[in-house]
Amino acid sequence: MGILKVLFYLIFPVIHAFNDCPVSLCGNFSLPIRFPFTLEGEQSPYCGYPGFNLICSNQRNSVLELPYSGEFYVRNINYLTQQIQLYDPDNCLPKRLLSLNFSNSPFIATFSRDYTFLSCSSQKNIGSQFIPIDCLSNSTYFVSAIPSVNLANSIPGSCSVIKRLLVPVARQERFGENIKDNLSADLQLTWDKPDCSYCETHGLMCGLESVYNNQVVCMSDYQAGTSRQGLKIFRIIALCITGPALIFVMLMATCVCYNDRIANITRNAASRSAPAAISPQPDVIIATGLDESTIESYEKVVLGDSRRVPGPNDGCCWICLSEYNSKETIRSIPECKHCFHADCIDEWLRMNVTCPVCRNSPAPSPLNVASSDV
Ligand SMILES: *[C@@H]1O[C@H](CO)[C@@H](O)[C@H](O)[C@H]1NC(C)=O
Ligand SMILES: *[C@@H]1O[C@H](CO)[C@@H](O)[C@H](O)[C@H]1NC(C)=O
Ligand SMILES: *[C@@H]1O[C@H](CO)[C@@H](O)[C@H](O)[C@H]1NC(C)=O
Ligand SMILES: *[C@@H]1O[C@H](CO)[C@@H](O)[C@H](O)[C@H]1NC(C)=O
């Protein structure tokens, strides 16, 4: 076994390097950073897609800089639906919205709504939909943002228009809904390119095909970081020179690694019983999910009136994107504690062995987090 392993690493440094685009963390365990995002200084730029570079601040916040709109903190990234949730470091998102400009950035609004920003000198006689935006208001003027349709051409005399603009919003309004807010909720954006939805829904890693173009391909976790162009050429040459004997070695070696992988998985997650099968042929993976008894062994809770879920991803289920309601059954993944509707995650786990949010199988133990924090 040991000799084979050495041989394997000598002949296939390519595969040995599978870990060169590791999932990174910037202080926050619930925000794994991986393709198309990269964390500056932790991952090489070819691990990500242009425009998706994040910086880890001194306070260990993940920071995204939009070319014309400055820095935002990242609250969450949904790799499955390709959405990112941003907030303002100074807690005054409405101020940032006034100068938002997505030029030269891969991000766009998921939905947008036409808002008029008004500055009013008096709060009298102007209606309840004028909710003051505290951080833009002062003792003499208060600023408010109203959906332009609600204004219906009647701007109160005590107010003047600051700006009218399309504001990114998290969802479309329902018919007849009367929107009232001060625009302080997180900024929710999405991206079209790169499109990794196929890889993500199939439990595969998305990555750049080569360092020379921006094509993306799906890889098993195992191959991620290995199929870069230069390395591919090396593999072709190696195969040409050594011929069929290599196929035998490769088969054996893959078995060795597969065993290692199983050992790894069982060591880190005793509860898992059916790890993904890795086929020896590059670029092909047969992903099998977990069996029912393993899925059933994962913690399940019925939400109470507070609708608080026990995991880090609060608010809505990141598979179906609908909000949690009381009396709904939630299941959490043991290693990372991410929560989902039981129906949603059960279906997912029947086909995949990884958590759809962090994709770690198993998630890094707290020990790993501590050491990557240094
Ligand atoms: C990590 O993220 C969670 C949820 O988004 C948040 O409550 C927590 O404060 C964050 N921790 C740090 C250290 O940023
Ligand atoms: C965004 O900024 C660029 C560069 O300053 C400018 O050319 C463009 O017109 C701006 N777009 C909007 C919508 O303001
Ligand atoms: C927006 O309203 C919420 C409560 O409704 C408040 O906590 C928050 O400070 C307000 N934000 C701004 C910027 O006015
Ligand atoms: C309040 O804000 C307005 C602009 O919105 C500004 O003209 C005015 O000088 C400010 N007043 C004070 C007391 O800061």
Please say if the pLDDT value at position 245 is more than 70: no
Q: Distance (Å, rounded) from C-alpha 244 to C-alpha 250?
A: 10
Residues 302/329, Cβ–Cβ less than 8 Å: yes
Res 39: pLDDT = 92
Res 323: pLDDT = 77
Short-list 299, 276, 177, 164, CA closest to 221? 276
Residue type, 231: L
- Pocket lining: 75 vs ligand 1, CB cutoff 6 Å: yes
Q: Ligand 2 centre from 87 Cα, in Å?
A: 21
Residue of 96, 182, 187 best suited for mutating to test ligand 3, as the one with most atoms within 8 Å of CB: 182
Return the ligand number nearest the Cα of 88.
3
- Domain presence at residue 322: yes
pLDDT tens figures, 2-23: 444 444 444 443 333 334 688 8
pLDDT > 90: percent of the chain:
26
Provide CB contacts within 8 A for 296, sequence distance 6+: none
Q: Distance (Å, rounded) from C-alpha 344 to C-alpha 334?
A: 16
- Pocket lining: 28 vs ligand 1, CB cutoff 6 Å: yes
Res 282: pLDDT = 39
Q: Specify the higher pLDDT residue, 14 or 65.
A: 65
Q: Distance (Å, rounded) from C-alpha 28 to C-alpha 357?
A: 14
Q: Ligand 4 centre from 186 Cα, in Å?
A: 26
**Nearest residue by C-alpha to atom 12 in ligand 2:** 101
Structure tokens at 369: 């987090």
Over range 145-171, report the average pLDDT. 86
CATH of the domain at 336: 3.30.40.10
Instruction: Indicate the pLDDT class of residue 205, thresholds 50, 70 and 90.
Output: confident
Average pLDDT of the residues of the chain: 75
- Pocket lining: 27 vs ligand 1, CB cutoff 6 Å: yes
Res 253: pLDDT = 55
Reported as type and span, the H/E element at residue 259 is: helix 244-268
Q: Distance (Å, rounded) from C-alpha 64 to C-alpha 86?
A: 8
Strands 53-56 and 38-39: parallel
Res 261: pLDDT = 52
Return the ligand number nearest the Cα of 143.
4
Identity of the highest mean pLDDT range in 35-44, 64-73, 223-232: 64-73
Q: Range of 298's domain? A: 287-374
Residue of 25, 26, 28, 63 best suited for mutating to test ligand 1, as the one with most atoms within 8 Å of CB: 28
Strands (E), 88-128: 107-109, 111-120
Provide CB contacts within 8 A for 2, sequence distance 6+: none
Q: Distance (Å, rounded) from C-alpha 255 to C-alpha 133?
A: 61
Number of structural domains, the chain? 1
Residues 81/175, Cβ–Cβ less than 8 Å: no
- Domain presence at residue 187: no
- Domain presence at residue 349: yes
- Domain presence at residue 333: yes
**Nearest residue by C-alpha to atom 13 in ligand 1:** 28
CB atoms within 10 A of CB 254: 20
